[in-house]
């Protein structure tokens, strides 16, 4: 909670405890920020009515230095000034009913208490609490003093943990250096880290260009890098290496670090992930990823400890990997060093690179290959019969759905006709009533009445025929032999439909067409009569010949790209084809040089860009 600073007159202060007799200045104990934050948060939760709090140390210039605030987003300048006065007077201070807020509309008590252990200053705790009696203020002060004893114990535990980490680091580095092989060293690293940090899985990977290859996974003598889990671990390592920083999930701060790969890995279990890059002799040579249960996220101290470990074991592991290179690579390195000593290393690399580029350009400008335009493609029926809702209602029955074969006249679905049946019953009752009147008029020979009743009967018969037609249309029948290509209401009976709503589509099974989605950059040279090949995802081993028919002159924008629909026909359709199958089609455009095939798209874009700039 932010509070406007109010003047602090000396006369408003009182000391519930005796002044601390100190003939010489404070002896200040350095307090880690993580320890300070944890201690202050717990103290503020233990004391009822705490509005804000701070823990301060004595700076080199004699002014208070902030160690922690509670809540973390608050910065109460009044507490800073009050803590400074407690430091100067070397005693606990209390100030009652102090106004605060943007307009001084609230009141609270200020309490500051130096935390001393063995004649050393651990810090000064300052709290803004709700107003209370003097006895309650003294109780809060006493609680803070007792908390100082607990803070001293936390410092001892922190120091012991640092010493344990140092011992573990030295022991681990020794084991890595004494291992006979790099993979054995990597296995030793992941197993030791798994035990030390209490992880369910630890993996170490080696950098290979922009990618990472796993070297070892804790408690796993063998693993398959092609599995989804192992690829996810490698992606997390690559994410940390790309940003040259360690990454924790769940995140402990709101920085700009990208953590998408780590979040995907954490979602697969256990839940908490920490990745740390491994520094090598010249650059990062790999990364370590640690995983454990979501209820035990990695804190800042563990992250720093892991970074310290990585700084020692990274160069040692890289050295072992360097020594285990194949003989051919060692000979290549030796030859490179020899030529470099003769001609100069930098010049040799430049000359070899330029020579390779020149040879590649010469080869690609002379060698020709078949140029093909590739485009996503799909199978469609040559005709599609649409079945729509004849009127608003509800789906009562749907025995068929998309993918089912049908014959002409098969029932695909039926809409609820209860209201229409009621209407039909109404008209039937009306007809019986009028027919009875007609018989009575016939017996009385009332010709005028007979004419009127006859007309009324004809009108009712017309209404009945209309209702019967509407009832018949509630039965959606297959218009032809084929397959239902869209529409599935078998799992949603009773769903409401609107009049004219498309419910099903039926396509024949013996007439197909291929629709290519050709990019706008490639459609210029494409015209009817071109031949090509279609490979469907359902039949990747079967290539079907096609002939381009019509190019629909309407551009379609979807998924961030513009394309044109190009219709084609299959030269030899297969009986296994079904509407909706997708694949890739390649249309033969003639022979072109390899250089043109590789660069024409880039040159076209550059020409368009230059023209747009007026060149």
**pLDDT tens for residues 102-132?**
777 888 999 999 888 777 888 899 999 999 9
Provide the pLDDT for residue 346.
56
The confidence band for 604, taking pLDDT boundaries of 50, 70 and 90, is confident
Q: What is the pLDDT of residue 24?
A: 57
Q: Work out the pLDDT band at 159, boundaries 50, 70, 90.
A: low
Looking at the chain, the whole-number percentage of residues with pLDDT higher than 90 is 13
Which whole number is the average pLDDT over 323-327? Answer: 74
Q: CA-CA distance, 206 to 531, in Å (whole number)?
A: 47
Confidence of residue 16 (pLDDT cuts 50, 70, 90): very low
Mean pLDDT computed over 515-532: 85
- Reported confidence tier of residue 20, pLDDT bands at 50, 70, 90: very low
Q: Is the pLDDT of residue 89 over 80?
A: yes
- Is a pLDDT exceeding 50 seen at residue 13? no
Domains and CATH numbers, the chain: 10-160 (3.30.450.40), 179-323 (3.30.450.40), 385-505 (2.40.50.100), 511-612 (2.40.30.170)
Name the range with the highest mean pLDDT among 107-116, 316-325, 473-482: 107-116
* Predicted pLDDT at 203: 94
Instruction: Give dist(CA 146, CA 70) in Å, integer.
Output: 19
pLDDT at 239 over 80: yes
> Residue 253: what pLDDT?
54
Position with higher pLDDT, 474 vs 12: 474
Q: What angle do CA 295, 230, 319 make, to 5 degrees?
A: 100
Give the whole-angstrom CA distance, residue 418 versus residue 385: 27
Q: Is the entire prediction scored with pTM above 0.85?
A: no
State mean pLDDT over 63-86: 84
pLDDT at 240: 93
Strands (E), 362-511: 368-381, 385-388, 393-397, 405-406, 411-415, 475-477, 482-486, 496-497, 502-507
The pLDDT of 553-581, averaged and rounded, is 82
Count Cβ atoms below 10 Å from residue 228 Cβ, excluding itself. Answer: 9
Q: Which residue has the higher pLDDT, 613 or 342?
A: 613
Q: Dihedral, CA atoms, 31, 35, 40, 45, nearest 10 degrees?
A: -160
Average pLDDT over residues 553-580: 82
Average pLDDT over residues 398-405: 81
549 Cβ contact list (under 8 Å, min separation 6): 513, 528, 566, 567, 568, 569
Cβ atoms of 167 and 196 closer than 8 Å: no
- The more confidently predicted of residues 381 and 133 is 133
CA 6 to chain centre: 47
pLDDT for the residue numbered 344: 55
Q: Which tops the pLDDT comparison, 1 or 604? A: 604
Least confident among 23-32, 356-365, 521-530: 23-32
Query: In the predicted model, is pLDDT for residue 528 greater than 50?
Result: yes
Range 88-106 average pLDDT: 85
- Tell me which H or E stretch contains 115: strand 106-117
Q: Are 428 and 511 in contact (CB under 8 A)?
A: no
Quote the crossing angle between the two packed helices 300-323 and 134-178, to the nearest 10°.
10
In this prediction, residue 241 carries a pLDDT of 92
Q: What is the DSSP letter of 12?
A: G
Using CB atoms within 10 Å of the CB of residue 285, give its burial: 0 to 12 exposed, 13 to 18 middle, 19+ buried: buried
Q: Of 161-175, 262-276, 573-587, which gets the smallest average pLDDT?
A: 161-175
Tokens coding 79: 């507490």
Q: Which band of pLDDT confidence, cut at 50, 70 and 90, is reported for residue 10?
A: very low
CA separation for the pair 158, 147 (Å, rounded): 16
- Tell me the C-alpha distance between 472 and 476, whole Å: 9
Q: Which of 42-46, 254-258, 442-446 is most confident? A: 42-46
- 132-136, 184-188, 406-410: least confidently modelled range: 406-410
- For the chain, the helix, strand and coil percentages under 3-state DSSP, each to the nearest 5: 40, 30, 30
Q: What pLDDT, on a 0 to 100 scale, did the predictor assign at position 400? A: 84
Q: Highest mean pLDDT: which of 55-64, 114-123, 126-135, 360-369?
A: 126-135
Question: What is the chain's mean pLDDT, rounded?
Answer: 81
Q: Which two tokens stand for residue 356?
A: 């390779």
Is 70 exceeded by the pLDDT of residue 15? no
Per the model's pLDDT, the better-predicted residue between 560 and 219 turns out to be: 219
Over residues 470-495, the mean pLDDT reads 81
């Amino acid at each position: 909670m932010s509070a406007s600073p109010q003047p602090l007159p000396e006369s408003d202060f009182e000391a519930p405890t005796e002044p601390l007799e100190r003939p010489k200045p404070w002896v200040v104990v350095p307090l880690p920020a993580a320890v300070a934050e944890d201690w202050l948060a717990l103290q503020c939760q233990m004391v009822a009515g705490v509005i804000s709090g701070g823990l301060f140390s004595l700076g080199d210039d004699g002014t208070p230095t902030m160690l922690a605030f509670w809540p973390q987003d608050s910065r109460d300048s009044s507490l800073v000034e009050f803590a400074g006065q407690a430091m100067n007077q070397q005693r606990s201070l209390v100030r009652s009913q102090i106004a605060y807020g943007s307009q001084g509309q609230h009141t609270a008590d200020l309490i500051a208490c130096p935390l001393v252990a063995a004649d050393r200053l651990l810090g000064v705790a300052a709290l803004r609490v709700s107003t209370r009696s003097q006895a309650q203020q003294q109780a809060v002060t006493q609680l803070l003093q007792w908390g100082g004893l607990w803070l001293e114990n936390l410092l001892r535990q922190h120091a012991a943990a640092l010493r344990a980490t140092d011992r573990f680091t030295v022991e681990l580095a020794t084991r890595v250096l004494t291992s006979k092989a790099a993979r054995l060293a990597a296995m030793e690293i992941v197993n030791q880290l798994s035990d030390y940090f209490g992880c369910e899985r630890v993996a170490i990977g080696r950098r290979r260009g922009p990618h990472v290859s796993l070297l070892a996974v804790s408690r796993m003598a063998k693993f398959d890098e092609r599995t989804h889990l192992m690829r996810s671990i490698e992606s997390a390592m690559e994410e940390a290496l790309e940003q040259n920083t360690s990454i924790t999930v769940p995140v402990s701060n709101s920085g700009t670090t990208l953590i998408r790969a780590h979040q995907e890995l954490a979602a697969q279990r256990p839940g908490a992930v920490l990745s740390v890059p491994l520094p090598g002799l010249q650059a990062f040579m790999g990364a370590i990823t640690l995983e454990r249960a979501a209820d035990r996220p990695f804190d800042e101290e563990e992250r720093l400890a892991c970074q310290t470990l990585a700084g020692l074991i990274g160069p040692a592991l890289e050295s072992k990997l360097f020594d285990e290179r194949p003989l051919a690579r060692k000979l290549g390195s030796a030859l490179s060093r020899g030529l470099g000593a003769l001609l100069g290393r930098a010049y040799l690399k430049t000359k070899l690179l330029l020579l390779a580029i020149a040879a590649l350009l010469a080869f690609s400008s002379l060698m020709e290959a078949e140029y093909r335009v590739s485009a996503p493609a799909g199978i469609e029926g040559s005709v599609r019969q649409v079945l729509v809702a004849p009127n608003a209602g509800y789906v009562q029955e749907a025995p068929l759905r998309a993918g089912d074969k049908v014959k002409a006249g098969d029932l695909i679905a039926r809409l609820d006709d209860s209201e229409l049946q009621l209407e039909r019953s109404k008209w039937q009752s009306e007809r019986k009533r009028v027919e009875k009147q007609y018989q009575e008029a016939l017996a009385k020979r009332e010709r005028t009445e007979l004419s009127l009743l006859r007309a009324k009967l004809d009108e009712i018969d017309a209404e009945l025929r209309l209702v019967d037609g509407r009832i018949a249309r509630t039965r959606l029948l297959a218009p032809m032999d084929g397959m239902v290509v869209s529409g599935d209401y078998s799992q949603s009976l009773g769903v409401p439909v609107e009049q004219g709503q498309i419910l099903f589509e039926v396509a024949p099974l013996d007439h197909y067409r291929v629709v290519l989605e050709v990019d706008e950059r490639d459609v210029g040279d494409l015209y009817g009569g071109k031949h090509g090949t279609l490979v469907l995802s359902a039949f990747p081993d079967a290539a079907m010949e096609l002939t381009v028919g019509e190019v629909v002159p309407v551009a379609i924008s979807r998924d961030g790209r513009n394309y044109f629909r190009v219709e084609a026909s299959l030269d030899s359709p297969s009986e296994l084809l079904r509407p909706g199958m997708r694949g890739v089609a390649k249309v033969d455009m003639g022979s072109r040089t390899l250089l043109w095939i590789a660069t024409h798209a880039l040159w076209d874009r550059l020409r368009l860009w230059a023209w747009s700039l007026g060149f």
